[in-house]
Structure 1
Amino acid sequence: MRLHSIPFFVLLFSIAFCYYSEYDYGGGGYGGGDYDSPYAHLSGEGGSPNCAPECNCPANYPSAMYCDNLKLKTIPPVPKGIQYLYLQNNLIESIDDDAFKNVTDLKWLILDRNQLTNAKIKKNAFSPLKELQKLYISYNNLTELVGPLPKTMDDLRATNNKISKITPNILEGLENLTVVHLQHNALKEDSISGAFKGLKSLVYLDLSYNEMSKLPKGIPPSVSMLYFDNNKISNVPDEYFQGFKALQYLRLSHNKLADSGVPGNAFNVSTLLELDLSFNSLGSIPAVNEGLENYYLQVNNIQKFSVSSFCKAIGPLDYSKIRHLRLDGNNITRADLPQEMHNCLRVANDIEL
């Protein structure tokens, strides 16, 4: 049920704000689940004489080599000068120690959708890559996170594997690592606690679609986008999120959260702009900081709208910054909304019941 007219609201949008149209739970939000090569439009323009014969190196950008969709079972010889190597959608099963010996300045390595296993990736396979920035190795058969990796890395994507373990210190020293995608794996909290220690630049971490029953320890405080959707998490330790000094986007939808597992101050984080607690078993609205702008609580067991969940005080300068609020799929009707809500949520332009 939508509120079509509420005093103090300028206008309610006629179309429901539906976050699913913006969120790609399989791909993971920031940066998307796939990649867009800045040189993709060149892939059909001639070939470089140094290119592997089965691959394509665009004449206008010979530092990119496209070997995708060729049913390759092994990595072809990679000539010097290649900085962007595309090997996705093949049948590659192994990586030898000397696979990249000629391309020490390789920056992008795309290995998505192959048949790689940890047993057939040699220990020093990535050692020659002294300037590697991006490694995409999703949709393979990995059971552990690969490594050690170059310290120049800034983007690691290993989604849709069978990863159940991250070896301690495997990510040690990756101080430039900004983005990590690990959704759709088999990770439990004990297998990753402390695994991200020392990642001083980490901004985006997606651990959705795993097997965690608790929130893991040791996530860097630099993280601003943190996703735990579709796990089995039933409680939030007191003050757990207060340690994140830059946290802006937090998702915990499709878990097992109930009131008994959510301390009163759990989500009162001053930096938080967006919070997703949809598809849980909450009976009341967890309190949030007045600075929160988007709050998703649909499909819970909420039966009461408490203004104190949004506003500690109400005055000319004291009010909630909530703009989008979803409460549909709960046990709340328009008649359940208290009158003082209008002053508290005075800037909201979309509330869905």
Structure 2
Amino acid sequence: MQRLSLLLLAGLCSLSWAQYDDDPHWWFQYLRSQQSTYYDPYDPYPYPYEPSEPYPYGVEEGPAYAYGSLPPPEPRDCPQECDCPPNFPTAMYCDNRNLKYLPFVPSRMKYVYFQNNQITSIQEGVFDNATGLLWVALHGNQITSDKVGRKVFSKLRHLERLYLDHNNLTRMPGPLPRSLRELHLDHNQISRVPNNALEGLENLTALYLHHNEIQEVGSSMRGLRSLILLDLSYNHLRRVPDGLPVALEQLYLEHNNVYTVPDSYFRGSPKLLYVRLSHNSLTNNGLATNSFNASSLLELDLSYNQLQKIPPVNTNLENLYLQGNRINEFSISSFCTVVDVMNFSKLQVLRLDGNEIQRSAMPVDAPLCLRLASLIEI
């Protein structure tokens, strides 16, 4: 039966049975012959929630006026340090002005841009006159946590996007309005996320906390029932968060010190598609049998850890990155618990280069289990 299955597969691949007898690794050679170029590294954010430029009109310089015409005069309530284009009466551009303070914000404003200045504080009440704000961009300044008013954002009940990345924050700001959908706190010096730091943010869909000094997040993420993207990469985490949001689709934990993943950890997030845990301290002793057995997962990155065996994965997984580990054996049971014509893995990309494994270690039944693979690097 096994010989018949392999014969059928060889026919599909336009290979003869004689070729199989001459070279037991013909299938691997066939895959390599189909690769016209080396695999291009994955995109940082493969799903629709890519970090967007915080400008509603698409250009940092602000909206342009019609060529050949003079711009109309700015409204009188616009601060002299900023630009308030009449064509876009709800936007105020104060970016790249060497500002050291936040100017007055007119009540009609919905989009304010203070990025790339020298602002060090966000004083209490600075936004009280403009409670209809939707976007506030404060990234690329020198803001410190002790100079942020405790209730400075709480009255902004319509705020959707808050950019505080690339500052000098050492703790989470708050309280924050429930309306918030995107929160950018990356590239700061935050060391922990208290359990109540994100309380009430039931509409938050994207949270960027990468490139901080976070050592612990506890159960702070559990209540974020709308969260789709969570980026905690480039921190000092030793453990994964205690529970993940139910709507989560993208989880980025690369470049931390994570050494263990609990059994069935991802099953509480049935929509999860992408998990990246590269450049951590994972070993097989820190993993359970079902640590990564989540049927929704499409991409799993475990590269550059300390794994010696291929961990079991779900048959629905399409991309698995294991390069740069210490893997010394190829276990087909990690992909298929049963190997026959009807049971096979949906894996398309498998990276095993940079390990302690040879091409000759690939089992003879690998073509049957991994029949959909288009790239295997060993």
TM-score, normalised to structure 2, is 0.86
SS at match of 1:291: coil
CA deviations 1:207-238 (Å, max 9, x no partner) are 11111111221332321211111111111122
User: 1:100 is aligned with what amino acid?
Assistant: F
Cα separation, 1, equivalents of 2:215 and 2:328: 32
Matches within 5 A, 1:99-114: 99-114=126-141
1:168 to 1:267, Cα distance in 2 relative to 1, 3 A:
closer
Does residue 44 of structure 2 align to residue 23 of structure 1? yes
SS at match of 2:333: helix
Cα separation, 2, equivalents of 1:228 and 1:171: 19
1:187 to 1:29, Cα distance in 2 relative to 1, 3 A:
farther
- Tell whether the 8 Å contact from 2:229 to 2:249 is kept in structure 1 after alignment: yes
Moved more, 300-309 or 240-249: 240-249
Cα separation, 2, equivalents of 1:301 and 1:231: 18
Superposed CA RMSD in Å reads 2.2
Corresponding residue of 1:61: 88
1:103 to 1:317, Cα distance in 2 relative to 1, 3 A:
farther
- Tell whether the 8 Å contact from 1:16 to 1:352 is kept in structure 2 after alignment: no
Cα separation, 2, equivalents of 1:316 and 1:110: 56
Corresponding residue of 1:48: 74
Moved more, 195-204 or 40-49: 40-49
What runs of 5+ residues in structure 1 fail to find an aligned partner?
none
User: 1:247 is aligned with what amino acid?
Assistant: L
1:231 to 1:78, Cα distance in 2 relative to 1, 3 A:
same
CA deviations 1:177-207 (Å, max 9, x no partner) are 0100101111112xx2121232111111111
Does residue 64 of structure 2 align to residue 37 of structure 1? no
- Tell whether the 8 Å contact from 1:126 to 1:147 is kept in structure 2 after alignment: yes
Matches within 5 A, 1:69-148: 69-148=96-175
After TM superposition, give the deviation of residue 280 of structure 1 in Å.
0.3
1:113 to 1:303, Cα distance in 2 relative to 1, 3 A:
same
1:303 to 1:96, Cα distance in 2 relative to 1, 3 A:
same
Matches within 5 A, 1:174-323: 174-189=201-216, 192-323=217-348
Moved more, 168-177 or 203-212: 168-177
After TM superposition, give the deviation of residue 44 of structure 1 in Å.
4.2
1:131 to 1:162, Cα distance in 2 relative to 1, 3 A:
same
Cα separation, 2, equivalents of 1:311 and 1:5: 18
After TM superposition, give the deviation of residue 31 of structure 1 in Å.
3.6
After TM superposition, give the deviation of residue 37 of structure 1 in Å.
2.0
User: 1:270 is aligned with what amino acid?
Assistant: S
- Tell whether the 8 Å contact from 1:145 to 1:166 is kept in structure 2 after alignment: yes
Corresponding residue of 2:9: none
Corresponding residue of 1:336: 361
After TM superposition, give the deviation of residue 84 of structure 1 in Å.
1.0
Cα separation, 2, equivalents of 1:337 and 1:313: 17
Cα separation, 2, equivalents of 1:17 and 1:155: 32
- Tell whether the 8 Å contact from 1:227 to 1:252 is kept in structure 2 after alignment: yes
Cα separation, 2, equivalents of 1:306 and 1:323: 17
Cα separation, 2, equivalents of 1:89 and 1:334: 52
Does residue 185 of structure 2 align to residue 158 of structure 1? yes
CA deviations 1:332-353 (Å, max 9, x no partner) are 2222211211111111111112
CA deviations 1:66-124 (Å, max 9, x no partner) are 11111111111111211111111011111112211121111011111101111111111
- Tell whether the 8 Å contact from 1:100 to 1:126 is kept in structure 2 after alignment: yes
Cα separation, 2, equivalents of 1:338 and 1:181: 42
Moved more, 144-153 or 60-69: 60-69
Cα separation, 2, equivalents of 1:75 and 1:302: 54
Cα separation, 1, equivalents of 2:222 and 2:39: 37
CA deviations 1:256-294 (Å, max 9, x no partner) are 111111112211111111000000010010110000001
Name the larger-Rg structure.
2
CA deviations 1:146-169 (Å, max 9, x no partner) are 111111001001001010132432
After TM superposition, give the deviation of residue 13 of structure 1 in Å.
2.6
Moved more, 10-19 or 81-90: 10-19
Cα separation, 1, equivalents of 2:311 and 2:292: 7
What runs of 5+ residues in structure 2 fail to find an aligned partner?
1-24, 66-70
- Tell whether the 8 Å contact from 2:28 to 2:376 is kept in structure 1 after alignment: no
1:5 to 1:342, Cα distance in 2 relative to 1, 3 A:
closer
- Tell whether the 8 Å contact from 1:9 to 1:347 is kept in structure 2 after alignment: no
Higher relative contact order (CA 8 A, sep 6+): 1
